[in-house]
Chain A
Amino acid sequence: MPRNMRNSVVASAIAAAACVCAVSGATSSAQAPAAAANTAHTLHVQGNVYMLVGAGGNITVQIGDDGVLLVDTGSAQSTSQVIAAIRTLTDKPIRYIINTSADPDHVGGNDAIGKLGSTIAGGNVGAGAGVGAGIIAHENVLNRMSAPTGKTSPYPTTAWPTDTFVTRQKELYFNGESIQVIYQPGHTDGDSIVYFRRSDVISAGELFNTLTFPIIDESRGGNIQGVLAGLNNMLDIAIPKAMQEGGTYIIPGRGRLTDEADLLEYRDMVTIIRDRVQDGVKRGLTIAQVKAGKPTLDYEARWGASSGAWTTDMFIEAIYKDLSKANEHANPAGAKPAAAAAKKK
């Protein structure tokens, strides 16, 4: 390679590296320039809070003088990328992890990342209590991640929540701001949302994402009405700034950074689809008849999937099953819907 060309390549590489450092180090706004490819990326949201994407589920990183607090830890295979990305932001110790659910792409890094941290403990708590970051989650997350005596747990004990709650919410004060961990079951029976009150950022967990219809995991206690309650409660918290841009930011479980208007569109969509399926259930339609009516047609190209782990069909079926149960409860045997009664004649 000619020397002047080599110099040019070197100069370009230095310039590119400088750009990458500038971006991954601390991007300064909710609409920052593009970062390097194939790694976990960080984006400054506002206040003390950053969003870390590209490592499984989204991770919220809150940073301050007290250390680092994470909401979720991504997937197990992305742990080294997550740690490297956090270290571009701060060298402070990781003190707390909050899990919004027991999903593998949200708790996968608990073990490795938790071990690197140290929680603040002392007094009569006992020696070793401060080893590793404290892991906060609803009790049902611990139930899902552990196993009954004699059974094998899907996760090592070092990945389990160390501080669980069974009440409506748990509160903590860290890095100069109040943090609410609000129990909000819907995707599963263990979901929480996390609200950073001074930074004005909500971590939504899997109740809200910008890639797919909401995942309703019936096998782990999920249901459509819970998802909607979660979306509505987040809307109650979120307040937009002037000209309806920004204000409260919402970090979804997966996908891009959002604010109230994005959450509003998502809530409206899920409600409208729920209403359509509910109408079918009330009229006594079968699941096949409901699907034939294409209740998601206007949203499918944006949010749907015909293959993969969460298809449009699965979404409709989950709503239908959930609402059918509720309908049976509201209309016990003998009070059949009109269409079903007419069919029998």
Chain B
Amino acid sequence: MRNVLRLFILALFVAPVIPVTLAAQGPRGPNDLSGEWAPLFHEDQPERIPGPDIGDYLGLPINDAARMHADAWDASILTLPEHQCKPHPADYSPRGPANLRLWREIDHDTQALVAIHTHISWQQPERTIWMDGRPHPPEYAAHMWQGFSTGTWDGDMLTVTTTHLKMGWIRRNGVPRSDQAVLTEHFVRHGDTLTLISVVNDPVYLTEPFVRTTNWALDPHQLIAPYPCQAVVEIERPQGIVPNHLPGANQFLREFAAKFNLPLEPTRGGAETMYPEYIAKIQGMTPVAKPGK
């Protein structure tokens, strides 16, 4: 009886408060994505953290031009001072050591959402996703590592369109993505999990859209460390040397296939290698022999 009385008294205090609180909230907006997000690596971990093998183009919808570009890529190019501090571009930075911070920029007077900003740990790239309906810049404007992004809400899903990207990469073993590409992203929050579905359309190096998903877990205690970068001369070379493999001269291209007992053909990539039907085709192929066998 005493408990019932207590509840009754509590209700007397709480009841007037609830409608006032709801009224103060006004119309409900989309799900807020703000927060500190820790990356989850259950998808594609070998590629994302240790890094991809040389010659691993599996599952990438690339064309011959992209394949040749990747075949010519020599990791030693990253020793050149001008290459050392490059951040990952907008479409790749979520794939690496990507502790993520998301925050909203609200106009003081109107309380309208102006932009959503992101910061990622590795090399500290920051993006601005404009939510105020502004147009993309003209074609003669500068391209940036993080491009120029605008966003719209589809219910609780944030859809972002990014143009004006610099020439970049879709896998960090030399597989290129051109500066003509357009990146479309969908951010979806399920409670304490954030999922990013990204779609790259590149008329120069891809034959089909390239789709990836990446996930984070909310981590309010996350502290992202600074990531200063200063280029140094690691190897003294004459001016103008650019490490690269001449066509047909890259001796490392078969290592990935040999390591995983795969035929060479699927490792060369192409849209066909993205689809489950391709598994049947591999069955009839001969794996690459391991060195020394």
**Bound form: Cα–Cα A249–B204 in Å:** 25
B167/A33 in contact, CB under 8 A: no
Choose one: A41, A262, A264, A276; the contact of B143 (CB below 8 Å): A262
Q: Which of B126, B140, B244 contacts A272 (CB 8 A)?
A: B244
Q: Is the CB of B64 within 8 A of A297?
A: yes
Let me know if A293 is at the binding interface, CB within 8 A. yes
> Which residue of chain B has its CB nearest to the CB of A231?
B240
The contact of A232 among B123, B203, B240, by CB within 8 Å, is B240
Beta-carbon contacts under 8 Å, A1-39 to B: 30-35
Whether the Cβ atoms of A246 and B138 lie closer than 8 Å is no
Q: Which residue of A lies closest to B241 (CB)?
A: A271
Asked whether, in the complex, the Cβ of B135 is within 8 Å of the Cβ of A33, the reply is: yes
Which of A75-83, A165-173, A252-260, A325-333 lies at the interface with chain B?
Answer: A252-260
A residues in contact with B85, CB < 8 Å: 240, 244
Closest to A268 in B: B242
- Given known A-B contacts A259-B142, A293-B247, A298-B66, A34 and B135 have beta carbons under 8 A apart: yes
Interface stretch among B12-20, B144-152, B193-201?
B144-152
B134 at the interface (CB under 8 A from A): yes
Q: A301-B203, A301-B204 are in contact. Are A43 and B140 (CB under 8 A)?
A: yes
Count residues on chain B whose CB falls below 8 Å from chain A CBs.
47
Instruction: Tell me which residues across on chain A come within 8 A of B124, comparing CB atoms.
Output: 242-243
Q: A302 at the A/B interface (Cβ < 8 Å)?
A: yes
Q: How many residues of A contact B (CB 8 A)?
A: 49
Once the chains bind, are A275 and B135 in contact (CB under 8 Å)? no
Task: Fill in one digit per residue for A127-164: 1 if any B CB lies within 8 Å of its CB, else 0.
Answer: 00000000000000000000000000000000000000
**Contact A41 B65, beta carbon cutoff 8 Å:** no
A86 proximal to B (CB < 8 A): no
Q: Mark A260-300, 1 if CB is under 8 A from B, else 0.
A: 11101101100110011001000000000000011101111
Assess the B242–A32 pair: CB atoms within 8 A: no
Question: Contact: A264 with B144, CB < 8 Å?
Answer: no
The answer to whether B72 touches A298, judged by C-beta atoms less than 8 angstroms apart, is: yes
A51 beta carbon closer than 8 Å to chain B: yes
Tell whether B178 is near chain A: CB-to-CB under 8 Å: yes
Q: Please tell me if the beta carbons of B145 and A243 are within 8 angstroms of each other in the complex.
A: yes
* Residues from 158 to 183 in B contacting A, C-beta threshold 8 Å: 164, 166-167, 176, 178-180
Contact (Cβ within 8 A) B142 A258: yes
With A232-B240, A262-B167 already in contact, the answer to whether A244 and B86 are too (CB < 8 A) is yes
A245 interface contact, C-beta 8 A: yes
Task: Report if B82 contacts A (CB, 8 A).
Answer: yes
- B147–chain A nearest beta-carbon distance, Å: 9
Inter-chain contact B77/A268, CB cutoff 8 Å: yes
- Taking a contact as CB atoms under 8 Å apart, the answer to whether B246 and A265 are in contact is no
Nearest 9 CB-CB pairings of A with B: A298-B69, A298-B68, A271-B242, A30-B142, A257-B142, A34-B138, A232-B240, A53-B140, A256-B140
Residues of B within 8 A of A (CB): 64-66, 68-69, 72, 77, 82-83, 85-87, 123-126, 134-146, 148, 164, 166-167, 176, 178-180, 203-205, 239-242, 244, 246-247
Interchain residue pairs with CB less than 8 A apart (13): A31-B164, A32-B137, A32-B141, A34-B136, A43-B140, A232-B239, A243-B124, A243-B125, A256-B143, A258-B142, A258-B143, A265-B167, A268-B244
